């Protein structure tokens, strides 16, 4: 039978996929963040000098939750576009950019590698832009849903470039911050 799916069937297929993709993307994102504490929970990070453009720490979990939900919805749209030209490439690009996204937090917050974290986040911005174009070609709305993510990652690239410039001795801060943290908890 070669019948086309109705709009209602397509919508149901999208929502079934979204019920999987959204929680998976959100959980992966927050799982990556759990590898090392961030913000005020991280003694090394609190010891770093911050640029004037640094948002309050509460902005990060709120922004990332919204972005991960949008990413999951965009992925569901692309997954629902069965038979669409470029769909497989778009999905593969999404997986690659998500993997790069997930390694950033441990590199920065756990291993304190500011230079490497900056390289990773700039690479992520490029990958998100490419993924956004690939998603746009499959479903324009899916590409648009990645635009806030691209904007946030570009902002984060600028932010962490400034953090790096303000903290040329970040590895020393890492040792001193961890030693002070250990000393406080052993008293």
CATH number at residue 171: 1.20.1260.100
Give yes or no for a contact between 78 and 142, defined as CB atoms under 8 angstroms apart.
Answer: yes
Residue with tokens 């069965």: 82
CA 43/CA 176 separation, integer angstroms: 10
What domain count does the chain have? Answer: 1
Is residue 5 included in any domain, yes or no? no
Is residue 120 included in any domain, yes or no? yes
What's the confidence (pLDDT) of residue 33? 86
Is residue 181 included in any domain, yes or no? no
Is residue 129 included in any domain, yes or no? yes
Is residue 91 included in any domain, yes or no? yes
What's the confidence (pLDDT) of residue 185? 44
Give yes or no for a contact between 134 and 90, defined as CB atoms under 8 angstroms apart.
Answer: yes
Long-range CB pairs of 158-165 (<8 Å, 24+ gap) are 158/53, 159/51, 159/53, 159/54, 160/108, 160/114, 160/117, 160/118, 160/121, 161/118, 162/51, 162/53, 163/48, 163/49, 163/50, 163/51, 163/54, 163/114, 164/114, 164/115, 164/118
| Residues of the domain holding 28 | 11-40+53-176
Q: What are the mean pLDDT values of the chain's consecutive 10-residue runs (187 residues total)?
A: 56 88 96 86 91 94 96 96 94 98 94 94 98 97 98 96 92 60 47
Is residue 45 included in any domain, yes or no? no
Is residue 96 included in any domain, yes or no? yes
């Amino acid at each position: 039978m070669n019948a086309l799916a109705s709009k209602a069937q397509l919508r149901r297929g999208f929502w079934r996929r979204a019920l999987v993709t959204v929680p998976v993307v959100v959980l992966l994102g927050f799982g990556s963040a759990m590898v090392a504490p961030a913000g005020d929970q991280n003694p090394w990070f609190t010891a770093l000098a911050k640029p004037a453009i640094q948002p309050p720490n509460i902005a990060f979990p709120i922004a990332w939750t919204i972005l991960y939900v949008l990413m999951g919805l965009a992925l569901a749209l692309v997954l629902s576009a069965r038979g669409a030209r470029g769909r497989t490439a778009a999905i593969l690009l999404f997986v690659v950019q998500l993997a790069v996204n997930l390694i950033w937090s441990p590199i920065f917050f756990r291993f304190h590698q500011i230079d490497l974290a900056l390289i990773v986040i700039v690479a992520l911005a490029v990958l998100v832009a490419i993924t956004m174009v690939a998603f746009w070609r499959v479903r324009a709305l899916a590409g648009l849903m990645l635009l806030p993510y691209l904007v946030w990652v570009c902002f984060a690239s600028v932010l962490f470039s400034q953090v790096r410039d303000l903290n040329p001795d970040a590895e020393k801060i890492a040792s001193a911050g961890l030693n002070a943290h250990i000393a406080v908890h052993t008293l």
